Amino acid sequence: MAEAIGLAASIIGVVQITGSLVSLGYNYLGGVRDVSNELRKLVDELHSLAQVLLVLRDHARDDILLQPTALQRLNDQNGPLPRCALELKTLQGKLEPKLGLRGMVKYLLWPLKEKETLQYIDSIKRYKSLFNLALTTDHFALSRTIDGCVRDTNQIMHELRNESSVLTSHVDRMLTAEKRNKILNWLYPGNFDQKHVETSGRRQKHTTGWIFGTAEFKKLVQRSA
């Protein structure tokens, strides 16, 4: 958690520097007589970088407990965030206006040469792309976590469906047994098994031997043969 809090604080620091540079850029846009395309591009890139940093800040704040390692690496000792902050501070020092006659602030002359301005534009673009990549990498990790949760949920649903199927089969067997008992009770309302034992007990040996000597039985045996 401490790393995530430190990350958020570092991002806020870079956001503040970027905001100051955007403000300085707009002052030069309003004060310089012949505004170059490079100056406009630099201000646009600074503004775009500020937007990415704000998203980065919010993401770091929201994910303190999720350990967003891809973002935390940005704040290493020689990581992109400290280097970006140092480069922006250097640019800020070059753009801070000098006091002119009678203490008036002068924004009438852009202090950087074209080549130097383009170098800062390219550098800011690289940092912006890197920060966006870190956000994307973390979102993939978060997506994997969500996918894992979905798989767990699907597994739970599968187990519940299996349990429901087993329960349904058990209920069906109970209903079948209940229906069978109703039919048996209709045929004989007493204890069927007990009645069977009692009836079998009353049977006498050799009382049905006469049937084997009848002509009808003999004819039946001959037909079967």
- pLDDT for 107-127, tens place per residue? 778 888 999 999 999 999 999
Low-confidence ranges of the chain (pLDDT < 70): 1-4, 63-70, 99-106, 137-172, 174-175, 177, 180-181, 183-213, 217, 220-221, 223-225
Total-model pTM: 0.58
Query: Would you kindly state where each structural domain of the chain is located, as residue ranges?
Result: 2-155
The answer to whether 120 touches 112, Cβ cutoff 8 Å, is yes
How far apart, in whole angstroms, are the C-alpha atoms of residue 172 and residue 151?
Answer: 31
